Every structure is written in C-alpha cells, then in structure tokens.
Structure 1
Amino acid sequence: MAVMRVKLNQKKRVKLAQGLWLMNWCSVLAGILLFGLGIYVKIELKQQSEVMASAESHFVPNSLILMGLVACCLNAFTGKVCYDSLDPTKYVKWKLILKPYLMFCILFNIFMFVVAILCFVTRGPLEDTLAQGLKNAMRYYKDTDTPGKCFMKKTIDLLQIDFKCCGNNGFRDWFEVQWISNRYLDFSSKEVKDRIKSNVDGKFLVDGVPFSCCNPSSPRPCIQHQVTNNSAHYSYDYQMEELNLWSQGCREALLHYYSGMISNIGILVFLIWILEMAVMVGLRYLHTSLENLANPEDPEGESEGWLLEKSLKETFKSLLESVKSFGKLNQVEAEGDEENGTPAITTVS
C-alpha cells in the first residue's frame, strides 16, 4: 500500500510544478551561498593554519564547497524537469532517469544532514588541533633565523594582538618555553648562566611574556618581564593586575571564534537541508502523479501521487533484498573468473 497518497488534478500539478521550479532556483542561490561560505571558512582557517596541528578542521569547509557545487547542479536540473513537466512531450525524455535521480538526491540530503550535524560537534576536534598547534608554535617563537620557522614570531604576535589573548591556556604558558633567541642572550652574564644551568633541558626560562600579550587598556606601562615578582616593580601585585596582560588563552579565543562561526553556518545548512527535502518530496509527488495518469496524452485527468509505493517495512525489505542479490551476483562472477578465467553467466529471476 502506497504511503501518503494524494490525488492531483491538472491544476494542482501545474501549481506543484511551478512552486517546485521557484523553490529549486531558491535552492540554487542557497548552493551559491554554501559555496561562498565554504571558501570563507577555508580562508579563515588557512590564516591560522600555522597554529593548528592538522588539516582535519578543513573537512567542514571542503564539504560546504562540495555541497554548494552539487546543490547548484542538482537544483538547476530539477528546475528544468519541473518546467518541462508542464509539457507532456518534453517530460517524456526525463521519465527514465527520474527514479535513479531521486535516489541520488536522497544520498545528497543524507550527506547534507551529516555535515549540518558535524558543524555542531566540530568543537572537540578543533580544540584538540588548536591546543597541540599552539603548543608547537610557541616553541618556535624564538627561531627567527631558522628557515621555515622565521615567520612564527610575527604570526603569534599578530594572533595575540588580534584576538586579545596570551599563550595557549594563559600567559603562564610562556614561562615554560624559551621564547628569547640565544643570539640575544649574553652568555658571559652570571644571571643567564644560572638560569640555563637551573633548567634540566638547558633552556633560558623567565617569568616574562612577549610584548603582544600586553593589554593597551592597562593604566600603567605594560609589565612583561618579571611578571610574578612583585618586588621588582613599584606598587605592583601580579595577582591583582588583571589589565596588565590578556588573561584569556589563545586556544579559548580561537575556539570561541571558529566554533561560533561554524555553528551558525550549521544552522543555515540545516535550513537549506529542510528546503532540499521539501523539493525532493515535491518532485516525488510530481513524478508519481504524472506516471499514474490513466491517459498520458490527456494531461487534464486526475491521478494519484505518493511518497512511497509500498509501506516502510516492505520498502526496506525490498531494498535489503536488492543489496543481497547484488552481492551474490558479484560473488558468483568473481568465482567464475577464478575457475575458468571467464565471467560467469548467471540468470536472475
């Protein structure tokens, strides 16, 4: 028994075709928007690729670009089909390909729904890649003379200034890495020698931070060296000087920026998915109602349209049987190739 049957006369079919035509061109515009947003997110992530541990975060923008292109092609084609459905002589050429085309639309909508979900759950993987990437980038801050790493100081300084952040989780992260290059250290100085000897790895560690951690809103000149030494500065308490340095870590700042942007895009993708589902359902009704015309040469007659030709249980069972028979057919052909070197001929009833 068909699921969700409706009766459509010529007037209703014409209105359905016209409405679908309009919805499809709206979907084409939505596809262009998805493509543009994918490019935008990819550029935004690319700008901070030096502080990201992997390229896994680019899956969402790449998917948006692909979805935008596919959506434009699919909906432009569907719009043409809906337009031709008003003329029976033109519609005849589309009848054979509409069923496999609808199957492809189902797969595309499943993919779009998955990407919409991923936009909301991408925070976890993004946080991991930012945490590891920032940690590695801070280690190369001092390597301004090393080929391939000489740009890292500028990258991190601009990052901390633009996003008003300091370090990975906070300014104390700079106390754990040597961010001052050896070329700017006086190794004849007792203080430098003592600091290097006191460290197991032989690094020059200080309780200081780069200038880009300074908050310009601070009422006093920025204190970036001996940050935790209250006696080194007049009228100073590092635990109370909240305005002196940015208190937020760059991982949190970047995560908030990117996850918020991608989540908003996820809402848009979900809305476009609803539009695509409506178009697909409408096309199914139009296709079945035209197929069920008693006399195809008389378009004025009334016909039935449905969403599924059989019940959900029967549809699922037939799909499962089709997959099983396809698997058995491939298995028999493979055995035939191994035994006689020629493809096996099978008969499927």
Structure 2
Amino acid sequence: MAVLKVKFNQKKRVKLAQGLWLMNWFSVFAGIVVFTMGLFLKIELRKRSEMMDNAESHFVPNSLILVGLLSCAFNAFSGKICYDSLDPTKFAKWKVLLKPYLVLCFFFNTGIFFVALICILMRGSLDSTLDNGLKNGMKFYRDTDTPGRCFMKKTIDMLQIEFKCCGNNGFRDWFEIQWISNRYLDFGSKEVKDRIKSNVDGRYLVDGVPFSCCNPNSPRPCIQYQVTNNSAHYSYDYQTEELNLWTRGCREALVNYYSSMMSSMSIVVLLVWLFEMAVMVGLRLLHTSLESIANPEDPECESEGWVLEHSLKDTFKSTLETLKKIGKFNQVEAGAEGTEGEEGGKTQTIATVS
C-alpha cells in the first residue's frame, strides 16, 4: 500500500507545481539566512580566537555556511524543475534526474537535522575549549613586548569590560598568575624580592586584579589591590562585603553568550529543515503524479501521486535486498578475478615445466 497517496487532476498538479516553486524560492532566502548566521558566528569566534584552545569550535559556523550554500543551490535547482513541470516538453529532460535528486535531497535534509543537533550539543566542547584558552591567555597578559602577544592584555581587558566578568572562573584566578610585567617591577625593593622568593616558580604574585575587573556600578572606589587584606582598606571585609569586582568568570559568560546564540540558530535551522522536508515531499508527489499519467497525450486526465510506492516496511525490506544483491555481485566479481588469477598462474607453471 502506497504511503501518502493523493489523487490529482490537471488543476491540482498546476497548483502543486506553482506552490512548490514559491516554496523553493522561499527556501533559497532561508538558505541565505543560514549562511549569514554561520558567517556571523564565525566572525564572533574569530574575534576571540586567541582565547580558544583549538579550532573545533569553528565546526558549527562552517557547517552552517555549507548548509546555507547547499540550500540555495538545491532549492534553486528544484524551483527550476517545478517551473518546467508545467510544460511537458521541458519536464521530459528532468525525469531521469528526479530520482537521484530526491535521494540527494533526503541525505541533505538529514545533514541539516544533524547540524541543528550539533548547535544544541556544542556547549560541552565549547566549555572545555574556553577553559583552556582563557587560562593560557591570562598567562600571556603581561607579555606586552612579546611578538604575537602584544595585544593579549587589551583583548582580555576588553573582554572583561564587555562581558562584565573577571578571570577564568572568578577574580581569584588572577591571584595564581603573574599578570604584572617584570619591566614595571623594582627588583631592588625588598617587598618585590620577598614576593618572588615566596613561591617555587619565582613569580611575582599579588592578591590583586587588573582594572578591567572593576564594577563601575559600585559606589565605592575600586579595590583591585590587596583584595583579601581587610586592614589595608577602611571599613572593609572581603568575606562579608559585596566586592566591587565582577564576580562572574569569563568562561561562564562566554559559554552562555555563545550557547544562547547557537540555541537560537538551532531553532532557525530546525525550521529550515521542516520546510525542506515539506518541499521534498511535495516534489515527490509532483514527480509521481506526472509519472502516473495514463495518457500523456491528454494532460488533463487524473493521476495518482505518492511519497512511497509501497509501505514503509516493504520499502525498507526491498532496500535491504537491493543492498545485499549489490554486495553479492561485488563478491562474485572479486571471486571471478581470483579464479582467473589462479588459472593464469597454473597455465604459466605448466608452460615453465614444459
């Protein structure tokens, strides 16, 4: 029994072809939107590529760009087929290509669905990428004179100001690294010498943070040095008082920013996928309804269209049988080649003995 079997007359076929033509050009526009989203996401990731541990995060925008381009190409081609289907002489040249094209559409739509899922599931990978990238970036904060790292300080400062965050997981991350360059340290000072000698790695560590961690909404002047020293500031207790620093880590801020962006994009891609599936089903109905016309010389006669000629179960079985036949055919060919090789070897051996 055919799946989604529909009866058509000439008027219904024309309406279906015209509707599909409009839907295909709408899908071209949707493909441009997906392409633009992928390009925007790629630019946003490149802005902070110095704080990304690897290039895996660019898989999503690259996939969106590819899906957008393919969607434009597929739907423009499909729109041409639907337009030519109104003229039997023009449609005749597309009959041979329609079945392979519909198979390609099926795999393409499957790819769109997986891209939408990847957009949703990318949070975990993005979290680890930003965690490692921000740690390395903070280590190079002080290297303003090192080629290739001159702008790392500016990048991190602008990041902390823009996203209202501090450090990787919080402001205490700055206590564990030397973020002040040696060129601004007086190595003749006893305090500097003591701090450098106080740890094994010989780093100048302070309980302070860069100015970009300060929260301008706080009524109190920013306390960015000796953050954990209550006696260094009047009427101050860092454990009970609300600090005038950003308490949220930049990793959390960036993950939330990119995750919300990719979640929105996944919804758009899913809508595009549903629309593409509708176009594919409509094109299949148009194809079968035109193929099943009993009298081609009478275009106004009725015909039947369907998505699958047999039931889903029978179609699945026939597909498996076809694949098995192809596998057996390949085995027979391989066996025949091996037999020919053996016979050739025996002939050569007999000839040598003679």
Do the two structures share a fold, i.e. TM-score over 0.5? yes
* Alpha-carbon separation, structure 2, partners of 1:14 and 1:243: 70
Count residues in correspondence. 342
For the Cα contact (< 8 Å) 1:213–1:245, is it kept in 2?
A: yes
Q: What residue in structure 1 maps to residue 21 of structure 2?
A: 21
Letter aligned with residue 249 of structure 2: G
Range with bigger deviation, 186-195 or 87-96:
186-195
Asked if residue 129 in structure 1 is aligned to residue 122 in structure 2, the reply is: no
Asked if residue 248 in structure 1 is aligned to residue 248 in structure 2, the reply is: yes
Q: What residue in structure 2 maps to residue 112 of structure 1?
A: 112
Letter aligned with residue 43 of structure 2: I
* Alpha-carbon separation, structure 2, partners of 1:339 and 1:59: 48
Q: What residue in structure 1 maps to residue 302 of structure 2?
A: 302
* Alpha-carbon separation, structure 1, partners of 2:119 and 2:305: 36
Letter aligned with residue 299 of structure 2: P
Q: What residue in structure 1 maps to residue 32 of structure 2?
A: 32
* Alpha-carbon separation, structure 2, partners of 1:52 and 1:234: 40
* Alpha-carbon separation, structure 2, partners of 1:184 and 1:5: 80
* Structure (1 or 2) with the larger CA radius of gyration: 2
Given the superposition, is the C-alpha separation of residues 101 and 197 from structure 1 closer, same or farther in structure 2, using an over 3 Å criterion? same
Q: What residue in structure 2 maps to residue 224 of structure 1?
A: 224
Letter aligned with residue 8 of structure 2: L
Given the superposition, is the C-alpha separation of residues 333 and 195 from structure 1 closer, same or farther in structure 2, using an over 3 Å criterion? farther
Question: What is the RMSD computed on CA atoms of the aligned residues?
Answer: 1.6
Gaps of at least 5 residues in structure 2 are 342-354
Following TM superposition, where does structure 1 have runs of at least 4 consecutive aligned residues deviating by more than 6 angstroms? none
Cα deviation for residue 327 of structure 1 reads: 3.3
Range with bigger deviation, 187-196 or 236-245:
236-245
Gaps of at least 5 residues in structure 1 are 342-349
CA deviation profile, 1:131-152 (whole Å, cap 9, x unmatched)? 1111111111111122222221
* Alpha-carbon separation, structure 1, partners of 2:147 and 2:329: 58
Cα deviation for residue 337 of structure 1 reads: 5.9
Please state whether the residue corresponding to 2:223 is helix, strand or coil. Answer: coil
Letter aligned with residue 294 of structure 2: A
* Alpha-carbon separation, structure 2, partners of 1:38 and 1:151: 26
Letter aligned with residue 73 of structure 2: C
Given the superposition, is the C-alpha separation of residues 221 and 93 from structure 1 closer, same or farther in structure 2, using an over 3 Å criterion? same
Letter aligned with residue 11 of structure 2: K
Cα deviation for residue 329 of structure 1 reads: 3.7
For the Cα contact (< 8 Å) 1:217–1:243, is it kept in 2?
A: no
Q: What residue in structure 2 maps to residue 194 of structure 1?
A: 194
Cα deviation for residue 87 of structure 1 reads: 1.0
Q: What residue in structure 1 maps to residue 346 of structure 2?
A: none
Letter aligned with residue 177 of structure 1: I
Q: What residue in structure 2 maps to residue 67 of structure 1?
A: 67
Please state whether the residue corresponding to 1:78 is helix, strand or coil. Answer: helix
* Alpha-carbon separation, structure 1, partners of 2:60 and 2:95: 35
* Alpha-carbon separation, structure 2, partners of 1:118 and 1:338: 45
Q: What residue in structure 1 maps to residue 280 of structure 2?
A: 280
* Alpha-carbon separation, structure 2, partners of 1:328 and 1:78: 35
* Alpha-carbon separation, structure 1, partners of 2:36 and 2:107: 23
For the Cα contact (< 8 Å) 1:54–1:129, is it kept in 2?
A: yes
Letter aligned with residue 125 of structure 2: P
Range with bigger deviation, 126-135 or 319-328:
319-328
* Alpha-carbon separation, structure 2, partners of 1:309 and 1:243: 70
Q: What residue in structure 1 maps to residue 266 of structure 2?
A: 266
Given the superposition, is the C-alpha separation of residues 184 and 333 from structure 1 closer, same or farther in structure 2, using an over 3 Å criterion? farther
Given the superposition, is the C-alpha separation of residues 338 and 134 from structure 1 closer, same or farther in structure 2, using an over 3 Å criterion? farther
Percent identity at matched positions? 72
Please state whether the residue corresponding to 1:217 is helix, strand or coil. Answer: coil
Q: What residue in structure 1 maps to residue 291 of structure 2?
A: 291
Letter aligned with residue 91 of structure 2: Y
For the Cα contact (< 8 Å) 1:53–1:132, is it kept in 2?
A: yes
For the Cα contact (< 8 Å) 1:142–1:178, is it kept in 2?
A: yes
For the Cα contact (< 8 Å) 1:112–1:269, is it kept in 2?
A: yes
* Alpha-carbon separation, structure 2, partners of 1:148 and 1:256: 28
Q: What residue in structure 1 maps to residue 325 of structure 2?
A: 325
Letter aligned with residue 307 of structure 1: V
CA deviation profile, 1:140-187 (whole Å, cap 9, x unmatched)? 111112222222111111111111110001100101111111222222
* Alpha-carbon separation, structure 2, partners of 1:337 and 1:159: 65
Cα deviation for residue 243 of structure 1 reads: 5.0
Cα deviation for residue 239 of structure 1 reads: 2.9
CA deviation profile, 1:227-285 (whole Å, cap 9, x unmatched)? 11010011222234435111111001111111001100100111111110000000000
For the Cα contact (< 8 Å) 1:223–1:244, is it kept in 2?
A: yes
Given the superposition, is the C-alpha separation of residues 327 and 242 from structure 1 closer, same or farther in structure 2, using an over 3 Å criterion? farther
Given the superposition, is the C-alpha separation of residues 189 and 330 from structure 1 closer, same or farther in structure 2, using an over 3 Å criterion? farther
Letter aligned with residue 69 of structure 1: L
Range with bigger deviation, 171-180 or 197-206:
197-206
* Alpha-carbon separation, structure 2, partners of 1:231 and 1:201: 28
Query: 1:197-212 alignment to 2 at 5 Å?
Result: 197-212=197-212
Q: What residue in structure 2 maps to residue 213 of structure 1?
A: 213
Q: What residue in structure 2 maps to residue 345 of structure 1?
A: none
For the Cα contact (< 8 Å) 1:9–1:302, is it kept in 2?
A: yes
Cα deviation for residue 323 of structure 1 reads: 2.5
Cα deviation for residue 321 of structure 1 reads: 2.4
Given the superposition, is the C-alpha separation of residues 331 and 158 from structure 1 closer, same or farther in structure 2, using an over 3 Å criterion? farther
Please state whether the residue corresponding to 1:304 is helix, strand or coil. Answer: strand
Q: What residue in structure 2 maps to residue 344 of structure 1?
A: none
